[in-house]
Amino acid sequence: MMDVAVPADVWQDVEPGTEALVEAWLVKEGDRVKAGQVLAKVVIIKANVELTAPAAGVVDRILVAAEETFKAGQPLVRLRPTG
């Protein structure tokens, strides 16, 4: 299993504890995804940011639902790598 979070360098200057928002999921549990595919759109400090799949796999579980908030480092989705 592979937990996917927003990359740390996106958060570099963001104040610790700042919450971001999952705007929308573009995939659902059970979907097969390719490496680099956009999984979700999140909003961090007025920036709309794409969350992409680091590897090909199947979406095992969405950990933070749309319109819910999350913090730096928090996994948003669990992928089951394929291939």
Partner 1 sequence: MIAGAGVRAKTGAAVEQDWNERQLAQQVRAAVWQVWTYLEPSIVLGCSQRTMLPAAGAHRGREVLLRRSGGGAVLAGPWMLGLSVALPVGHGLWSPDVIASYRWLGELLAAVLREGGVLASALPPPQARAMAPTDGLQWACFGGLSPWEVVAGGRKIAGLAQVRSRNGVLLSAGVLLSAPDWALLCTVLGRPPAQIASLASVTTSWAEQNGDTAMAAALPQHLDAGLRAALRAGEISGG
The residue ranges that bind partner 1 (CB under 8 A) are 7, 9-15, 21, 23, 36, 38, 41, 43-50, 52, 67
In the bound state with partner 1, the residue whose beta carbon lies nearer, of 48 and 82, is 48
In the bound state with partner 1, the residue whose beta carbon lies nearer, of 60 and 71, is 71
In the bound state with partner 1, the residue whose beta carbon lies nearer, of 31 and 50, is 50
Residues present in the chain in total: 83
**Strand ordering across the sheet containing 32-33:** 2-4, 77-81, 57-62, 32-33
Range list of H helices, the chain: none
